[in-house]
């Protein structure tokens, strides 16, 4: 039994969208950022060619670059957005934020399916566990697997960097607590999949990240 992770880089913000799946064929879509027809086709082709069945659409947080494809995923697969309740404002204000950045955005249906720390995201024969890591945004979540030792962190932590804290719901001190006390406690060997940029590990970020 193995969990597979496929990364796509989408939209003008170069956001990382992930499809996480196992041998059952069931998959979870995380942070759907596809906003053009070409990007939507790339995502769907991977799913259809691989014989995958999307069963959940989950978000690390709901800044507009991370939900630009949520409307499409709902139309295509009938999946509503699952995220922390503290992301409601970001979710509801996304059309306004898209206008500010002059980017194309098709809003998903209103209303979040609530996820909280301690919940489990189940698909196929696999489970992702959840950490609540506020600081970049109030409801930032990370999804991790203890067996394969990986964590999808959204914009909380990047290779040699950290998430912005100057946006609504952001707080530097809160972010440091989330990273140092909660995320880093997972273990040095955990692979970190971020919302932008390349992968890293908890150990590498402990040793070389200048912000922590």
CATH of the domain at 89: 3.60.15.10
The phi and psi torsions of 57 (rounded to 5 degrees) equal: -120, 110
d(CA 50, CA 96): 36
Residue 35 near residue 68, CB atoms below 8 Å: yes
User: With pLDDT > 90 as the criterion, what percentage of the chain qualifies?
Assistant: 92
Tokens of 32: 């759907």
Return d(Cα 17, Cα 120) in angstroms, integer: 20
Residue 101: its pLDDT value, please?
Answer: 86
197, 156 contact by CB (below 8 A): no
Angle of helix 37-49 relative to helix 70-77, nearest 10 degrees? 50
pLDDT in the model for residue 123: 98
- In this prediction, residue 168 carries a pLDDT of 85
- 88-105 pLDDT tens trace: 999 999 989 888 888 888
pLDDT value for 105:
87
pLDDT of residue 87: 97
At 59 the pLDDT is 98
- Total structural domains within the chain: 1
Q: Which helix (H) or strand (E) covers residue 201, if one does?
A: strand 200-201
What pLDDT sits at residue 15? 98
Average pLDDT, the chain: 96
| Domain span holding position 203 | 4-208
**What's the whole-number mean pLDDT along residues 158-175?**
95
Give pLDDT tens digits for 7-55.
999 999 999 999 999 999 999 999 999 999 999 999 999 999 999 999 9
Question: In this predicted structure, what is the pLDDT of residue 33?
Answer: 97
Give 22: exposed, middle or buried? Use CB within 10 Å, 0-12, 13-18, 19+: middle
Position 34 scores a pLDDT of: 96
């Amino acid at each position: 039994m193995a969990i597979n992770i496929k990364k796509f880089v989408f939209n003008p913000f170069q956001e990382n969208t992930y499809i996480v799946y196992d041998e059952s064929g069931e998959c979870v879509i995380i942070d759907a950022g596809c906003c053009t027809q070409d990007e939507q086709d790339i995502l769907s082709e991977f799913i259809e060619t691989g014989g995958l069945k999307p069963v959940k659409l989950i978000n690390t947080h709901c800044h507009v670059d991370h939900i630009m494809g949520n409307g499409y995923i709902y139309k295509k697969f009938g999946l509503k957005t699952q995220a922390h309740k503290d992301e409601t404002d970001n979710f509801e204000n996304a059309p306004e934020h898209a206008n500010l950045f002059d980017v194309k955005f098709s809003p998903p249906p209103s209303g979040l399916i609530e996820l909280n720390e301690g919940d489990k995201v189940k698909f196929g024969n696999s489970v992702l566990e959840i950490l609540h890591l506020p600081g970049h945004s109030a409801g930032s979540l990370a999804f991790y697997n203890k067996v394969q030792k990986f964590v999808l962190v959204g914009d909380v932590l990047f290779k040699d960097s950290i998430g912005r804290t100057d946006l609504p719901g952001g707080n530097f001190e809160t972010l440091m607590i989330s990273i140092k006390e909660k995320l880093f406690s997972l273990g040095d060997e955990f692979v970190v999949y971020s919302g932008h940029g390349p992968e890293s590990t908890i150990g590498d970020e402990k040793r070389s990240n200048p912000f922590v």
